[in-house]
Amino acid sequence: MSLDQEPLSRRQALRLVEGAYLAATTALIWLALYYLPVGGALFRLALPLPLSLLQLRRGGRSGAEGLVLAVLLLTALMGPLRGPLLLFPYGLLSLWLGWSWCRDLSWWLSWSVGVLLGTAGFLVRVFVLSLLVGENLWVVITRAGAALLDRLIALLHLPISPDLTQVQLMALMLVVIQEVIYVLSVHALAFWIFPRLRSPIPEPPRLLHGLVALDPL
């Protein structure tokens, strides 16, 4: 049996190179988000886009391979806890968005599932970071929020006194609202950028068209 391997076709070579490049781009954005003191909001917006673009251009298998490669790179650079945090929610969100855009699914569906993934990913990150610091960060966050809320209530002389459970529900609601805005912003950014890369995503629903039609780019 011959040991000679057939050379890669041009399409296979492009798929490998593009996958490696976009996976490395994702890893670099994650490192910048983690270590740089400025630009966090922009890095968060950009983070799901490279692997979503890879999936649009080369298919779901390439997107999954790119995510695995990015996680392996980050695990080697950041360790076995911080590196895989890319998955929650940004890696899984990028796969979901790429998959839904490839199939021309409605923005309502890709947006709503993306919000669920983002909220779950936030809670997973809080859990993992709690393990790293040895303290329940969710309790720390909600207690700090409760103290701030008590001061606000006293300042405004409001006749209410929320308990810790209510504060936790309010904190979770704020996380959900944040993810609603974030995932919609990622949709809008992809809608503006990806057509320039010959990988357009589905048109937004009529209700949202006026919101994203003003392309700032």
What are the tens digits of pLDDT across the range 22-52? 999 999 999 999 888 788 889 999 999 999 9
| Contact between residue 70 and residue 95 where contact means Cβ atoms under 8 Å apart | no
What is the structure's pLDDT at 2?
Answer: 46
Residues contacting 18, CB < 8 A, separation 6+:
54, 57, 58, 62
Kindly report the CATH number that applies to the domain delimited by 10-212. Answer: 1.10.1760
**Where are the domains positioned within the chain?**
10-212
From the CA atom positions of the chain, what is the Rg in Å?
Answer: 21
Residues contacting 122, CB < 8 A, separation 6+:
89, 175, 179
Burial class (CB in 10 A: 0-12, 13-18, 19+), 9: exposed
Alpha helices in the chain (DSSP H): 10-35, 40-46, 49-58, 60-78, 90-102, 107-133, 137-156, 164-193, 206-212
Written as six digits, the tokens of 26 are: 């994702």
CA 90, CA 46: separation in Å to the nearest integer?
10
pLDDT tens digits along 102-147 = 999 999 999 999 999 999 999 998 888 888 888 888 888 787 777 7
